[in-house]
Structure 1
Amino acid sequence: MSIVLPSPGRRVPCEQCPLRATPHFRAFEPAELKFVSSFKAGELQAETGTTLMSEGTHSAHMYTLLSGWAFRYKSLPDGRRQILNYMLPGDLLGLQGSVIGEMDHSVEALSPVVLCVFQRDRLDELFRNHPGLGFDITWLASREERMLDDHLLSLGRRTAMERAAYLIAFLHQRAAAVGLDGSKQLHIPISQLHVADTLGLSIVHTNKTLRKLADRKLIRWHDRACEVLDVDGLMEIAEWDGLPERKRPLI
């Protein structure tokens, strides 16, 4: 599948960005908002399964996920895949390629997505003239490192059921923070293969593990979606205290 440009009428001005109304994100200073509005080159829309970025490629842009879900992953030559992390609205994509010059991972759309597009060649201007925004980008990179530390701990030391409980609780908390839980039970748009590729388990072991969580009435599995029934119960199994509650930057 390929990325398609939406019609100009569907462009969301930064001043009217729906994410800015979410309490999870810090407010821009007027000068910062003016710069980010000019920094944004447009939007891209992609369907589920679209490769948004490919390992080893160069890009003239970086992106903020405006809506939808995506995931970052690396692959071995024989096609085996390790999912590194999941991207939700407000997350920055492509910073690695913007700074280092080449992507060291790939990104795939987990659902239909809309991306805000930013010009990489103006990144120097952002750091030079808007140090607050420069700090925000550094903060986002540090936050990603912290999440990966937690993921590595889970892969290295938790049991299979603890790993699965941690992953689903983690995704639930991240989605709830940006308002994706709504008034109903949250459906996370992942398949059991995504879970297996995240946890480093076989699909058979993953299926058995998720069935144990379902038997405890903690989750309900649907076709390509996991319904979270008891996030506190998942956190208790994983012995995980959850994500810190604090405002975060939005570029």
Structure 2
Amino acid sequence: MPGTSCKNCPLRKRSMFLPFTEEELAFMETFKTGELKVDPRTTILLEGSNSPQLYTVLDGMGTRYTTLENGKRQVINFLFPGDFAGLQAGIMGEMKHSVEASTHMTLCVFRRDDLWEVFRRYPERAYDLTWIGAVEEHFLGETIASLGQRDATQRIAWALVRIYERLKAAGLEKDGFVPLPFRQQDLADALGLSLVHTNKTLKALRDIGLAQWSEGQLELLKVEDLASLAMIDLERPQARPLM
């Protein structure tokens, strides 16, 4: 099934995403081959695989992770609506991490072989892919700084602020809440913490009135204080490309 037309894409209505030209929109209609709907815990891309497809998250959320030789999992980051997945296999020949659905997800599907047509015909779109890669690199750098220089409370404060900012910019905030359907174990795996330590720290942040995460909803009660605790500045929402 072709699914949602690019012209009627609900993500394009959100202010955080840069607009398409009419020519780019017409190309995206041909670039997109359909939509994939998956259930929670479905593996979308597998580490070591050579997927022929690329994806944009239309709806739902997921995780990027890598598996170590001892079987432990390291969550790299989370996937939100508008995020692009599979570029790594398109450039490097195979995935260096896996992608799993955390919720029911709908993904726009693109042919990987057509990626080079983007570079040939639409250099602005190719630049957008470079921008996406650069932003992911920046985020990973910030993650490494958190793992190396922030204590457990600061790490969790940093993660909650950055996630909240991203989801709010995507128009998913309602009455002060954003959806956060991940498990505490996912957050622990992303931040290099034990589940017990993560649970205790989240409870402590709730008890002092800074943040509350329960039943798949996140509320930051004092976002500026939480950002100060995390030793970060609140960032102004930045318009980003949508593939």
**Pairwise TM-score range, normalised by the shorter structure:** over 0.9
Under a length normalisation based on structure 2, what TM-score does the superposition of the two structures give? 0.95
Distance (whole Å) between structure 1 residues aligned to residue 74 and residue 239 of structure 2: 30
Of 127, 131, 136, 1:135 maps to 127
Of 139, 147, 162, 2:139 maps to 147
Structure 2 counterparts to residues 96-135 of structure 1, below 5 A: 96-135=88-127
Amino acid at match of 1:157: Q
Matching residue of 2:164:
172
User: Any conservation in 1 of the 2:178–2:219 contact (CA below 8 Å)?
Assistant: yes
Gapped regions of structure 1 (runs ≥ 5):
1-7
User: Any conservation in 2 of the 1:163–1:199 contact (CA below 8 Å)?
Assistant: yes
Instruction: Classify 1:34/1:23 alpha carbon distance in 2 versus 1 (closer, same or farther; 3 Å).
Output: same
Distance (whole Å) between structure 2 residues aligned to residue 224 and residue 181 of structure 1: 13
Whether 1:21 aligns to 2:25 is no
User: Any conservation in 1 of the 2:59–2:105 contact (CA below 8 Å)?
Assistant: yes
Matching residue of 2:190:
198
Amino acid at match of 1:168: L
Distance (whole Å) between structure 2 residues aligned to residue 245 and residue 226 of structure 1: 19
1:233: Cα distance to partner? Answer: 2.5
Under a length normalisation based on structure 1, what TM-score does the superposition of the two structures give? 0.92
User: Any conservation in 2 of the 1:55–1:104 contact (CA below 8 Å)?
Assistant: yes
Q: How many residues align?
A: 243
Whether 1:159 aligns to 2:146 is no
Instruction: Classify 1:170/1:99 alpha carbon distance in 2 versus 1 (closer, same or farther; 3 Å).
Output: same
Matching residue of 2:239:
247
Matching residue of 1:87:
79
Q: Secondary structure at the match of 2:44?
A: strand
Amino acid at match of 1:148: L
Matching residue of 2:50:
58
Matching residue of 1:213:
205
Instruction: Classify 1:20/1:221 alpha carbon distance in 2 versus 1 (closer, same or farther; 3 Å).
Output: closer
User: Any conservation in 2 of the 1:190–1:226 contact (CA below 8 Å)?
Assistant: no
Distance (whole Å) between structure 1 residues aligned to residue 94 and residue 134 of structure 2: 19
1:206: Cα distance to partner? Answer: 1.3
Of 208, 216, 225, 1:233 maps to 225
Q: State the identity as a percent.
A: 42
Gapped regions of structure 2 (runs ≥ 5):
none
Distance (whole Å) between structure 1 residues aligned to residue 110 and residue 221 of structure 2: 37
Amino acid at match of 2:109: V
Matching residue of 1:5:
none
Distance (whole Å) between structure 1 residues aligned to residue 215 and residue 6 of structure 2: 35
Tell me the alpha carbon deviations over residues 212-248 of structure 1, each in whole angstroms, 9 at most, x when there is no partner: 1111112223245544333222212101113343211
User: Any conservation in 2 of the 1:186–1:228 contact (CA below 8 Å)?
Assistant: no
Distance (whole Å) between structure 2 residues aligned to residue 224 and residue 182 of structure 1: 13
User: Any conservation in 2 of the 1:81–1:197 contact (CA below 8 Å)?
Assistant: yes
User: Any conservation in 1 of the 2:164–2:178 contact (CA below 8 Å)?
Assistant: yes
Distance (whole Å) between structure 2 residues aligned to residue 230 and residue 55 of structure 1: 38
User: Any conservation in 2 of the 1:61–1:120 contact (CA below 8 Å)?
Assistant: yes
Distance (whole Å) between structure 1 residues aligned to residue 213 and residue 23 of structure 2: 46
Q: Secondary structure at the match of 1:42?
A: strand
Amino acid at match of 2:136: E
